[in-house]
Amino acid sequence: MQKPAETQYPIHDLIRDRWSPLAFDSKPVEPEKLGSLLEAARWAASSYNEQPWAFVVATKEDTDAFQALFNCLAEGNQPWTQDAPVLLLSVAKEQFSRNGKPNRHAAHDVGMANANLVLQAMSMGLYCHMMAGFEPQKARHTLGIPEGWDPLTMMAVGYLGDAKTLSEDLQKREGAPRSRKPLDEFIFTGKWGEAASFAT
């Protein structure tokens, strides 16, 4: 299934074609491809080059590690993630290593790393579905995440699966069109709320 973005201006194919599927094929992700995804995350830009990210990654073959991550997911995310071959959790370091001060951009930079990962995945025929629906405290406890590190986002990664394997409800979600606000609703110039002529 393809769900390309309907754009107001042309964009790169990888960005246009990325979407967050619910149906994943159980086919494992090749270790070298998984390595490339994490390498792409590694090379994200970050404030002061702090690289305030860590990832807890589990492949389906590593049953205990996979189950540990899976158990942290919200009930609503479990039915469709169970077939995904890879689960991961991105974690943000809350203070700068250089001076111990709060890093206001930690979540931004972990988002940058995740965006790199997701687009690298698309370039290799892999899809990602990010999730806020998990229990951070459970993740902290189960995975031994230290204080000062914030369990931020979970993600399912894998090849596209067959939507017919999903429940009726999930099939509806899978088939729903993707939508975005129009550019002029959030691109301003001069002053907040003033739409820019180049973004209409």
List interacting residues with ligand FMN (CB under 6 A).
19-20, 77, 130-133, 153, 178
For residue 62, count other CB atoms closer than 10 A to its CB: 12
Contact 86, 57 (CB under 8 A): yes
CB of 29 to ligand FMN, least distance (A): 19
How near is the Cβ of 46 to ligand FMN at its closest, in Å? 17
Return the residue nearest ligand FMN (CB atom).
133
Taken as a whole, the chain contains a residue count of: 200
Structural tokens at position 26: 């159980």
Q: How far is the CB of 197 from ligand FMN (least distance, A)?
A: 27
Asked if 150 contacts 165 with a C-beta cutoff of 8 angstroms, the reply is no
Nearer residue to ligand FMN within complex by CB, 89 or 131: 131
Closer by beta carbon to ligand FMN, 119 or else 195: 119
The nearer residue to ligand FMN, 19 or 55, going by C-beta atoms, is: 19
What single string gives the DSSP state of each residue in 23-52?
-B--PPPPHHHHHHHHHHHHT---GGG---
Tell me how far, at minimum, the Cβ of 138 lies from ligand FMN, in Å.
14
Decide whether 116 or 153 has the Cβ nearer to ligand FMN.
153
In this complex, which beta carbon is closest to ligand FMN, that of residue 4 or of residue 148? 4
How buried is 13 (Cβ within 10 angstroms: 0-12 exposed, 13-18 middle, 19+ buried)? exposed
All residues at 6 or more sequence positions from 1 whose CB lies less than 8 Å from its CB, including other chains: 21, 23, 160, 163, 174, 175
Residue 26 C-beta: closest distance to ligand FMN, Å: 19
